[in-house]
């Protein structure tokens, strides 16, 4: 099951000689670790040469690499929106300002474009005053964009603004870009720490148990499913079809289905099905209950639909529209079967992404933002902050982007979804 060569060691720019200005906190020792394993079985298998596989614990260090009073920091948000981006920006700015007394913080605009001078996006100076209420709104006050930029051009910008720590809020493409920035800076002899805060509403980053915004997405997804249920039960042979985000991983769909308990089918990218198998099961459900709710993650059933052959600028495969496909297939199937149904289709994708974070997600963003700041101030680099085994920890970027985290169809989450929907386990 587990890779035995897990290397969680974190790169560092150099020795930490500057005493931290923080007072009244418990400093985290450099030898404090978070266990990778969470079960005895894993503990026996996930080991390295020195013992069980472990991650560095996140948190404030007694000594820093950077002298805060002369440090400038940058923040950039990349990729698709996710609830909580503003909360993370705010947490980073407040922690840099209040914990450390950093005076120069630049917010680079529209993702990595903001680090390339020829785009002409001037950075915004961020202060505790101008970020104080940004978490009340969704989106990112810095703007975001997808796509790669040349590391040398981005490092040039970091050089001009004398940036010592760059905080990159984004998904796997962003984190790969962050790694390249760090490598290019090192090649040029520039001491820049690059710290990622993993962002993907899909919750599909490896070695990260939960990304910020995911919990909000589940709450909003549940609302859409509830609406589909109301519609479906208010009509004779009503069918509510909901498409939720989830390009390669169906976590939002699975958790939203469990939360509401109203869905009769949950279709996710990790579990393949045949159109015939699904439609027959849906027909049986309609015959038995007189209504049905179907939840499909956007990456579900892609083997049944003609591929678009397109990629977005981040390099992600652009999936064909499973919602439109199922809507048509369901309508045609019941028409052929001579059964009148009332089908309502709901696609709340961008509505979900753009809302402010829920309270718990917001609090989580604060913990992540502060952990990222502590890591950056201590000169750690090429890493992300992660929530793992109910602890905040450091994970090297190469591990975080090694593969996309997916639902294990043989494990408890999927078993619970199947039990909740009572859909056939095998619809192939």
Nearer to ligand F6P, 11 or 321 (CB): 321
Q: How far is the CB of 80 from ligand F6P (least distance, A)?
A: 3
Instruction: For residue 145, state whether it binds ligand F6P (rule: CB under 6 A).
Output: no
Number of residues that bind ligand F6P (CB under 6 A): 12
Residue of 264, 298, 347, 361 that binds ligand F6P (CB under 6 A): 298
Q: Binding to ligand F6P by residue 245, rule CB under 6 A?
A: yes
Instruction: Answer yes or no whether residue 247 interacts with ligand F6P by CB under 6 A.
Output: yes
SS3 string, the chain, reads CCCCCCCCCCEECCCCCEECCCCCCCCCCCCCEEECCCCHHHHHHCEECCEECEEEECCCCCEECCCHHHCEEEEEECCCCCCCHHHHHHHHHHHHHHHHCCCEEEEECCHHHHHCHHHCCCCEECCHHHHCCHHHCCCCCCCCCCCCCCHHHHHHHHHHCCEEEEEEEECHHHHHHHHHHHHHHHHCCCCCEEEEEECCCCCCECCCCCCCCHHHHHHHHHHHHHHHHHHHHCCCCEEEEEEECCCCCCHHHHHHHHHHCCCCEEECCCCCCCHHHHHHHHHHHHHHHCEEEEEEECCCCHHHCCCCCCECCCCCECCCCHHHHHHHHHHHHHHHHCCCCEEEEECCHHHHHCCCCCHHHHHHHHHHHHHHHHHHHCCEECEEEEEECCEEEEEEHHHHCCCECCCCCCCHHHHHHHHHHCCCCCCC
Q: Which of 331, 332, 356 is nearest to 342 (CA)?
A: 331
- Contacting ligand F6P (CB under 6 A), which of 87, 113, 184, 202? 202
| CB of 158 or CB of 407, closer to ligand F6P | 407
104: left (phi over 0), alpha (psi -120 to 50) or beta: beta
At a CB cut-off of 8 Å and minimum separation 6, what does 83 contact?
Answer: 138, 201, 212, 213, 216, 217, 352, 353, 354, 355, 356, 357, 358, 361
In the bound state with ligand F6P, the residue whose beta carbon lies nearer, of 201 and 281, is 201
Cβ 111 to ligand F6P, closest distance in Å? 11
Interacting positions 52-91 with ligand F6P (CB under 6 A): 79-80
Q: Can residue 381 be called a binding residue for ligand F6P (CB under 6 A)?
A: no
Kindly indicate which of the ranges 5-13, 176-184, 200-208, 415-423 contains the residues binding ligand F6P, using the contact rule CB under 6 A.
200-208
Q: Which stretch binds ligand F6P (CB under 6 A): 100-108, 133-141, 194-202, 338-346?
A: 194-202
**177 sits near ligand F6P (criterion: CB under 6 A):** no
Q: DSSP character for 62?
A: S
Q: Which is nearer to ligand F6P, 200 or 371 (CB)?
A: 200
Whose Cβ is closer to ligand F6P: residue 245's or residue 254's? 245
Please pick, among 202, 204, 226, 248, the residue that the annotation labels catalytic.
202
Cβ of residue 208: shortest distance to ligand F6P, in angstroms?
14
310 or 415, CB closer to ligand F6P? Answer: 310
Does 7 participate in catalysis according to the annotation? no
Which C-beta is closer to ligand F6P: that of 184 or that of 298? 298
Q: Is 301 helix (H, G, I), strand (E, B) or coil?
A: coil
Judged by CB under 6 A, the stretch of 159-167, 196-204, 284-292, 420-428 that binds ligand F6P is 196-204
Closest separation between CB of residue 309 and ligand F6P, Å? 16
- Applying CB under 6 A, which part among 95-103, 198-206, 272-280, 288-296 lies near ligand F6P? 198-206
**Which one of 39-47, 199-207, 336-344, 393-401 is the stretch in contact with ligand F6P (CB under 6 A)?**
199-207
**Please, which residue, 9 or 351, has the CB nearer to ligand F6P?**
351
Nearest approach, Cβ of residue 204 and ligand F6P (Å): 8
Residues 309-338 contacting ligand F6P, CB under 6 A = 312
Residues near ligand F6P (CB under 6 A) are 79-80, 171, 200-202, 245-247, 298, 312, 353
* Catalytic residue annotation: 202
């Amino acid at each position: 099951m587990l890779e035995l060569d897990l290397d969680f060691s974190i790169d560092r720019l150099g020795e930490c000689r500057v005493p931290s200005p923080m007072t009244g906190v418990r400093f985290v020792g450099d030898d404090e670790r978070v266990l990778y394993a969470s079960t005895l079985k894993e503990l026996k298998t996930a080991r390295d040469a020195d013992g069980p596989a472990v991650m560095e614990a996140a948190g404030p260090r007694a000594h820093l690499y950077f002298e805060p009073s002369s440090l400038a920091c940058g923040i950039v948000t990349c990729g698709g929106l996710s609830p909580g981006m503003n909360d993370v920006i705010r947490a980073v700015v407040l922690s840099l300002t209040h914990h450390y007394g950093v005076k120069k913080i630049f917010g680079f605009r529209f993702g990595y474009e903001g680090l390339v001078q020829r785009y002409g996006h001037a950075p915004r100076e961020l202060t505790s005053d101008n970020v104080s209420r940004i978490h009340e709104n969704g989106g990112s006050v810095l703007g975001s964009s997808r796509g790669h930029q040349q590391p040398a051009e981005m490092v040039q910008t970091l050089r001009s603004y004398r940036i010592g720590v760059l905080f990159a809020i984004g998904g796997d493409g962003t984190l790969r870009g962050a790694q390249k920035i760090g490598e290019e800076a090192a090649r040029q002899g520039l001491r820049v720490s690059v710290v990622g805060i993993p962002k993907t509403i899909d919750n599909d980053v490896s070695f990260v148990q939960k990304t910020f915004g995911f919990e909000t997405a589940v709450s909003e997804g549940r609302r859409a499913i509830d609406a589909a249920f109301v519609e479906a039960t208010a009509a004779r042979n009503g069918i509510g079809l909901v498409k939720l985000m989830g390009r390669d991983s169906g976590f939002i769909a699975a958790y939203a289905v469990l939360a509401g308990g109203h869905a009769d089918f949950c279709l996710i990218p990790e579990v393949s099905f045949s159109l015939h198998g699904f439609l027959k099961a849906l027909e049986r459900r309609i015959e038995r209950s007189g209504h049905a709710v179907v939840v499909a993650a956007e990456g579900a059933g892609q083997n049944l639909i003609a591929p678009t052959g397109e990629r977005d600028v981040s390099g992600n495969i652009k999936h064909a529209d499973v919602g439109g496909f199922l809507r048509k297939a369901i309508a045609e199937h019941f028409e052929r079967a001579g059964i009148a149904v009332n089908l309502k289709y709901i696609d709340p994708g961008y509505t979900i992404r753009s809302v402010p974070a829920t309270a718990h997600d917001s609090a989580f963003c604060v913990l992540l933002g502060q952990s990222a700041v502590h890591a950056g101030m201590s000169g750690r680099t090429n890493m992300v902050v992660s929530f793992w085994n109910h602890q905040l920890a450091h994970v090297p970027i190469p591990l975080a982007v090694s593969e996309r985290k997916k639902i294990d169809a043989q494990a408890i989450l999927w078993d619970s979804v199947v039990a909740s929907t009572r859909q056939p386990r095998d619809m192939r």
